[in-house]
């Protein structure tokens, strides 16, 4: 029997808000999303009252989990900022408000995870997810224990790119166990939500979903976590940069001018929040004809390299536009894992080696990582 919204509301009626009102009457509930036994919603509360609401959040989650047929429940607590630009995640908002630069704060890391790197692009469709997956596998081939977080909650790609159909199990009813594939430890919102279910995310839900995937997943010991970021340079990116101590960001761009303008914005944004830019990858750099091997520079090859030079950030490499990459990628058989001796795998491994150099170099040079204090 499918779980319904009404069922969720009826159990929530038995959960009391801090003033004693039944939760559904407290005017804090977002829309309730029920999909395939997974239940999602958020409570948007006054920033000053976040502490009082946390037990309510937990009780709501527990009550929903107890409904027969519910496989998992994710209740996010988000805080409405007292003033200013509207809601933001509870962790950030519960802190006394001050006009702080992200660099004055100290962020909690993810226990067991040594370095978190973001793979980002100014816009969608440039091959960010494909690059992220193959980069992660390249890092794996360098002997690192690698995890992947799909933070692109608008268009999660990892279920498809890694052919993952199974749902994550919960550990002790609270933490989610990530999925293992090709030696990578993987988590995606796409594991919890049906691919066909269109999700409308309100700003605060975006960040709480990402925060929960960072903090309520049993990641284990990882040398590197590669985060597939949502495209663009909006609040989600900025907040993500403020949520975890990012070791650095890899920007993916195609060579066209328009994509480069977006990539430039991406570089500028990470610099603004003091996240080192590890470098730029030019994807779909040139076209390699699968039948004759002829190369054509259909997007005007070399744009990203020049742009990286201009911006003073490392250039990490160029990946051709190739049928094999697309076919393998879309079939959940990433080239680095399935054609490790092929030319494309080598390109990605070289990029991974440069990224690793950057990560290590950055640490040795004592490069400033953003320090963000977030008090729970």
Ligand X SMILES: Nc1ncnc2c1ncn2[C@@H]1O[C@H](COP(=O)(O)OP(=O)(O)O)[C@@H](O)[C@H]1O
Interface residues with ligand X (CB under 6 A) are 121, 124-130, 157, 283-284, 319, 321-322, 325-326, 329-330
221 or 350: CB nearest ligand X? 350
Residue 276: CB minimum distance to ligand X, A: 21
Residue 146: CB minimum distance to ligand X, A: 18
Q: Are 141 and 349 in contact (CB under 8 A)?
A: yes
d(CA 15, CA 62): 10
Among the candidate windows 36-44, 89-97, 125-133, 214-222, which touches Mg ion by CB under 5 A?
125-133
What does 322 interact with, of Mg ion, ligand X, none (CB < 5 to 8 A by kind)?
ligand X
73 or 164: CB nearest Mg ion? 164
160 or 367: CB nearest ligand X? 160
232 or 255: CB nearest Mg ion? 232
Contact call for residue 129 and Mg ion (CB under 5 A): yes
129 or 185: CB nearest Mg ion? 129
What does 329 interact with, of Mg ion, ligand X, none (CB < 5 to 8 A by kind)?
ligand X
Q: Which residue has the tokens 């944004």?
A: 269
78 or 134: CB nearest ligand X? 134
d(CA 181, CA 51): 38
Residue 191: CB minimum distance to ligand X, A: 17
Residue 64: CB minimum distance to Mg ion, A: 30
Beta bridge partner(s), residue 55:
none
Residue 359: CB minimum distance to ligand X, A: 22
What does 266 interact with, of Mg ion, ligand X, none (CB < 5 to 8 A by kind)?
none
What does 126 interact with, of Mg ion, ligand X, none (CB < 5 to 8 A by kind)?
ligand X
What does 130 interact with, of ligand X, Mg ion, none (CB < 5 to 8 A by kind)?
ligand X
Residue 228: CB minimum distance to ligand X, A: 7
Residue 187: CB minimum distance to Mg ion, A: 15
Among the candidate windows 26-34, 121-129, 158-166, 354-362, which touches Mg ion by CB under 5 A?
121-129
Contact call for residue 134 and Mg ion (CB under 5 A): no
**Contact partners, residue 258, CB within 8 Å, separation at least 6:** none
Residue 325: CB minimum distance to Mg ion, A: 14
What does 91 interact with, of Mg ion, ligand X, none (CB < 5 to 8 A by kind)?
none
Residue of minimal CB distance from ligand X? 127
115 or 252: CB nearest Mg ion? 252
**Contact partners, residue 83, CB within 8 Å, separation at least 6:** 97
Give the residue, chosen from 157, 208, 243, 254, that forms a contact with Mg ion under the rule CB under 5 A: 157
d(CA 16, CA 23): 5
Burial readout 63-91 (b: 16 or more C-beta within 10 A, e: otherwise): bbbebeebebbbbbbbbbeeeeeebbbbb
**Contact partners, residue 208, CB within 8 Å, separation at least 6:** 42, 76, 77, 78, 89, 90
What does 188 interact with, of ligand X, Mg ion, none (CB < 5 to 8 A by kind)?
none
121 or 208: CB nearest ligand X? 121
95 or 129: CB nearest Mg ion? 129
Residue 206: CB minimum distance to ligand X, A: 17
Residues that bind Mg ion (CB under 5 A): 129, 157
């Amino acid at each position: 029997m499918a779980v319904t919204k009404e069922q969720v509301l009826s159990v929530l009626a038995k959960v009391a808000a801090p003033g004693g009102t039944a939760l559904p009457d407290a005017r804090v509930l977002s829309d309730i999303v029920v999909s395939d036994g997974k239940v999602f919603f958020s409570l948007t509360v006054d920033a000053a009252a976040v502490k009082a609401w946390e037990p309510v959040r937990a009780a709501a989650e527990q009550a929903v989990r107890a409904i027969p047929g519910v496989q998992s429940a994710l209740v996010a607590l988000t805080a409405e900022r007292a003033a200013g630009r509207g809601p933001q995640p509870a962790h950030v908002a519960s802190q006394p408000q001050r006009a702080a630069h992200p660099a004055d704060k100290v962020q909690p890391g993810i226990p067991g995870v040594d370095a978190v790197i973001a793979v980002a692009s100014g816009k969608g469709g440039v091959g960010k997810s494909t690059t992220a997956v193959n980069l992660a596998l390249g890092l794996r081939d360098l002997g690192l224990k690698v995890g992947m977080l799909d933070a692109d909650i608008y268009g999660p790609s990892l279920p498809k790119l890694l052919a993952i159909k199974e749902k994550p199990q919960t550990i002790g009813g609270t933490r989610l166990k990530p999925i293992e594939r090709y030696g990578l430890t993987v988590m995606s919102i796409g594991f919890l939500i049906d691919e066909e279910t269109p999700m409308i995310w309100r700003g605060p839900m975006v960040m709480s979903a990402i925060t929960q995937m960072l903090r309520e997943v049993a990641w284990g010991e990882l040398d590197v976590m590669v985060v597939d970021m949502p495209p663009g340079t909006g609040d989600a990116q900025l907040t993500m940069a403020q949520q975890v101590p990012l070791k650095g960001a890899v920007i993916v761009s195609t060579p066209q001018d328009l994509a480069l303008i977006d990539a430039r914005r991406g570089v500028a944004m990470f610099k603004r929040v003091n996240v080192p830019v590890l470098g730029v990858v030019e994807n779909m750099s040139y076209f390699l004809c699968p039948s004759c091997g002829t190369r054509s520079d259909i997007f005007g090859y070399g744009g990203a390299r020049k742009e990286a030079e201009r911006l003073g950030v490392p250039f990490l490499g160029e990946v051709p536009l190739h049928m094999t990459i697309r076919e393998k990628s879309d079939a959940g058989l990433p080239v680095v894992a399935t054609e490790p001796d092929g030319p494309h795998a080598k390109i990605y491994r070289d990029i991974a080696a440069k990224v690793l150099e950057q990560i290590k170099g950055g640490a040795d040079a004592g490069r400033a990582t953003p320090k963000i204090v977030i008090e729970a």
